[in-house]
Structure 1
Amino acid sequence: MLSNTSERWGSISIALHWLSAVAVIGLFASGWWISTLTYYHPWYNAAPWWHKSFGITLLAMTLLRVVWRLVTPTPRPLEHRHEALAAKLGHGLIYLLLLTVLCSGYLISTAEGSPISVFGWFEILASWRFSRQATLMGTLHWYAAWSLVILAAGHALFALKHHFLDHRATLTRMLGRGS
């Protein structure tokens, strides 16, 4: 089943969710590692290239995910009304932070006017530049990335709470097993 129903997430939503989760964790870890590299480190040039390529891929995937979310139904909430509202706000904040991290990363990478090579397949051109762009966007990127990872960890913990303590199918639905 590709599309969502009122009872369960479809395989497209599930795949986009888990691919995004892996990408966020990987990009956060690699970004942290990149910040420790010295000029003479063998990965000094290659690691940012991979980081940017996967970042642009995650941006495309996120935009696809937002469109998919708008055009397909979502399963009915299994939580109480106040929990469902909190979940909706939390998911909205995750999307906002994700787009903030990705767009600020783009603006850091293009601050000098150079395009971003995506796996050597094509380039994303620099759109515009402004004063202190790399510095300002670097600060935003750092704090938004930390906020995203902390919120995503909370998201995971609540999914585990719903599964193990509340005995709800919230987690199993995102694993493709239905309610």
Structure 2
Amino acid sequence: MAAKNSEVAYGWAAIVLHWVAAVTIVALFALGYWMVDLSYYDPWYRQGPDIHRSVGILLFGVMAVRLLWRLFNRAPRPLPNHKRWEVISAHIAHGLLYLLVFVAMISGYLISTADGSSIHVFNWFEVPSMTGQIKGLEDTAGAVHYWSTWAIVVLAAIHALGALKHHLIDRDNTLRRMLGLS
């Protein structure tokens, strides 16, 4: 399998970037959902958010690479059995997923740096605050982060259901192409 996409199949680079991002986003959502109910005395009260922030920063790098890869490496052509509305809705859904993921990551960054502090990424490196201290930023960014992450989950579920529909009902290669099996 080639690294680059062809007219009929995704290359291994696009497949790996897709699945790394998908699994990471689901894991970050699950961790975020779980950690909001932690009490101050829970041993994970500080460690959970530190992991969430660190993985989120690393995901930003993966998504930046993924977006650049997508911009310079066209996706395979739609399959012949795909209806026009399916192709258009898939393009809109993919665009919204990219947008929402970047909104979630940027708003998460703003929550963590609203007081002027840096984000320590697994103690490997620091990402400094770009805003300094801004009153109320944490609350506004928190609301944006909350709603954008829920929108990602809903849209990703619809995306996955669409892939399953193509695989189980239409019996075409849509899902197989993203699994590298076509």
Unaligned runs of 5+ in 2: none
* Higher RCO (CA 8 Å, separation ≥ 6 residues): 1
Deviations 1:129-175 (A, max 9, x none): 43300000001100100000010011000000011101110000000
Q: Does 1:120 align with 2:123?
A: yes
Residues 9-44 of structure 1 deviation map (CA, whole Å, 9 limit, x = unaligned): 011100011111111110001001110001000011
Matched, 1:77 2:78: yes
Output the CA distance in 2 between the equivalents of 1:57 and 1:48: 14
Matching of residue 96 in structure 1 with residue 115 in structure 2: no
131, 135, 151: which one aligns with 1:131: 135
Q: Where do 1:25-174 residues align within 5 Å?
A: 25-78=26-79, 79-129=82-132, 130-174=134-178
Aligned partner of residue 39 in structure 2, secondary structure: coil
Instruction: State the identity %.
Output: 45
TM-score by length of 1: 0.97
Matched residue type, 2:52: H
The one-letter amino acid paired with 2:60 is: L
1:90, CA displacement in angstroms? 0.5
Q: Distance in 2 between matches of 1:82 and 1:150?
A: 20
Code of the residue aligned with 1:122 in structure 2: it is F
- Aligned equivalents of 1:89, 1:54: Cα separation in 2: 27
CA–CA distance in 1 between the matches of 2:109 and 2:83? 39
Question: C-alpha root-mean-square deviation of aligned residues, in Å?
Answer: 0.8
Aligned residues of 2:119 and 2:128 also touching (Cα < 8 A): yes
Distance 1:132 1:57 in 2: 26
Alignment-mate amino acid for residue 43 of structure 1: W
2:23 matched residue in structure 1: 22
Q: Which moved more, 1:71-80 or 1:139-148?
A: 71-80
Structure 1 runs of 4+ with >4 Å offset = none
Contact 2:114 2:135 in 1 (8 A): no
The aligned amino acid for 1:111 is A
Q: TM-score, normalised by structure 2?
A: 0.96
**Matches of 2:85 and 2:147, distance apart in 1:** 28
What amino acid does structure 2 have at the position aligned with 1:86?
A: S
Is there any run of 5+ residues in structure 1 with no aligned partner, and where?
Answer: none
**Paired amino acid for 2:46:** N
Q: How many residues align?
A: 178
